[in-house]
Structure 1
Amino acid sequence: MYSETGQRYWGRFGAAGLVAVDPHRGILLQHRAEWSHHGGTWGIPGGALHEGELPAVGALREAAEEAGVPAGAVVPLFMSVLELGFWRYTTLVARVVHPFDPVIADAESLELRWVPIDDVDELPLHHGFAGAWPELRSALAVRPVVIVDAANVVGSVPDGWWRDRAGAAERLLAKVHAFALAGSRAAVSSVPTAASEATSGAPSQASRSATSVGVPAADLGLAGDRWFPEFAVVVEGAARDARCPASSESVKNSAVSVVRATASGDDAIVDEARRRVALGESVTVATSDRALGERAVAVGASVRGVGWLRDLVGYGVRR
């Protein structure tokens, strides 16, 4: 693919790469072979997307092919997109949850190295990565969380929740949990092909989730394209004992936590928002309770209505 100025961009359908962030070792960089495009420079594992391939899938596939990044070794933090109109490059930034040693798996690499974040600028970087790195680095410090007013969300859907408040809260937790896990490679890679969807007559729920995986950055007041925030769901009263779905994958690396209010649910939400803001996290409270929203803003959080949360995770959608 060539621009009007004759500059070459690899990938007819765009390209994607992975910034794997290890909290102890830094980020994984690839020393590119001399014969490759911009050979001799340092960048991230990545390459051209296949036709119809989701960028997150392509980034993980390329990282596995070029650097031996194991499936399930990382969980996504955010995606950043360079959009040129005729071509785009998607950077998937992900946290390492299962430490691994990279392996040179093809001829495109001279070396693979974990580089401390403060040392990245000392290397001769690929020009594309060099241009993106300052913004990516600043975003690494951002930790978004969405605090969910479960009672307000559940109460906005007239499905008989008042007969079983705990059950209704568990249905909400299941939706939030499924949405959070949709950012993992396993969930995204399980999306049916277009051919299989044509046979069934409509896209599956998994397909719809994967194509809109993550939360739009603008919804959280953040830079970038999409983020994968943590969710803290506050339950109260008769719903206080609602259980969150668990799996072997999510027990250790869960992006969903349950806050069980011992008294007022509103007070618990404000306390959680205040605590998270003090930790330096970017906090969004999902509620349509005006008074609660004002209290959340007062402690440094932003607010989104429950309709936003319902649409995001598909709560209240009839199958």
Structure 2
Amino acid sequence: MSTSSPEKIAVVGGGSWATALVKILCEQPQVQIRWWLRSAEDIAHIRTYHHNPSYLSDVYLSPKKVKVCEKLRDAVKGADYVILAIPAAFVQEPMQELTSEHLRGKRLVSAIKGMVPDCNQLVTDWVERVFEVPLDDICVIAGPCHAEEVALEKQSYLTIASTGQSCAEDFARLITCRFVTANPLTDLYGVEYAAVMKNIVALACGITHGIGYGDNFQAVMVANAMQEIRRFVTAVDPRERDLSSSAYLGDLLVTAYSQFSRNRLFGNMIGRGYSVKAAQLEMKMIAEGYYAANSIHSMNKNHGVDMPITEAVYRILYQRAAPAQEMEALKKYLK
């Protein structure tokens, strides 16, 4: 793509990760951003005060770079890239405003680390199917990276994965800035499934911490979880990949251990005796691992992969199994 004229980026979503991505893109001199948010109050506040009052409120959003939009069609009109940064469980509703024609000729970027629950599809597969976007024009943003550290301008690393080499390379260049390094990768499905599953693992880590298990147990569980991820990803998309690299292992570790991990926080609340509904209400944020546990459990009915950690989390969340009993039973599977 030409570097002589500004790249036009549409960002869809108003949460912390969407806000962090807007901040990163504002670092680029040749970028113009149209940002769609659901909340009319947040839109009005951003126009007046140039920061998101609901998420990462200390981040300044340049009015010269960012235009907020009430209508999604206005945001994507004329865009070169459309970045989806809505929780997977809620991505379908706002996207109903669009047709395949609205996304024709655009590159689609998924910043969503989850699966569309109704169809148990990766977001990239769902976009390809529903909006007829060519797979080579779709990429995903993977970590290891938390929005809160982007807001603080701490050095961060991203992986941009696509089946199309040029798509991954072009967007990696676009999102690299003074405090973010982005690297391209062509393992779209491996990166995306690993990102989905690491949220389940982080949730499991939170549960064990809430019950009272220590760091020793958690380290063993995370090591076993990496093998669980390897088995599942190989079953659904067999190919050579180095799961010890940052796109896979790094993303798992930061989500499993970070104070900013909402999945770990959600799991911790479940381990301390909260019901799923009570934990969701108190967090006021979406833990993708909750929905991912059901989607991966459903998918695995066709693959039959040995996944004791994922299944334990599924039973706790969806069958109301006692967390302490499930973690006690899990001990015999860990090595």
With structure 1 as the length reference, what TM-score do the two structures score?
A: 0.29
Say which structure, 1 or 2, has more relative contact order (CA 8 Å, 6+ apart): 1
Looking at secondary structure, tell me which structure has more helix per residue. 2
More strand by share: 1
* Structure exhibiting the larger radius of gyration computed from Cα positions: 1
TM-score, with normalisation over the residues of structure 2? 0.28
